[in-house]
Homo-oligomer: A and B are copies of this chain.
């Protein structure tokens, strides 16, 4: 069975690290709320936004790497049209990340 059918994905092995990372980003966004509530200077808030966006992006890159290594590679080994669909899908996801 290919990984996707068992509900197990490339990222499943690193689940705990991903969750830890996302909880930290959640904390950063709550930190932004406190900064706004406490009338912190605009530029300092913008600096914190860049830090949170960067953290989200490195989470996305990590997930993408695992997806390429597992789901896309499995589709290549399987052969047939599956690889085209997987590559198209991954490229569209990368395009969305580039536009933000």
A-to-B contact residues, CB < 8 Å: 4, 7-12, 15, 18-19, 22-23, 25-26, 29-30, 32-33, 36-37, 39, 41-43, 45-47, 49-50, 52-54, 56-57, 59-61, 63-69, 71-74, 76-77, 79, 83-84, 87-91, 93-100
Task: Please measure, in the bound complex, the distance between the C-alpha atom of A10 and the C-alpha atom of B63, giving whole angstroms.
Answer: 24
- The prevalent SS among residues of A at the interface is helix
Distance between A18 CB and nearest chain B CB, rounded to angstroms: 5
In the complex, the count of this chain's copies comes to 4
List the 5 closest A-B pairs by CB distance, nearest first.
A73-B76, A76-B76, A42-B67, A53-B100, A50-B96
Q: How far is the CB of A35 from the nearest CB of chain B, in Å?
A: 9
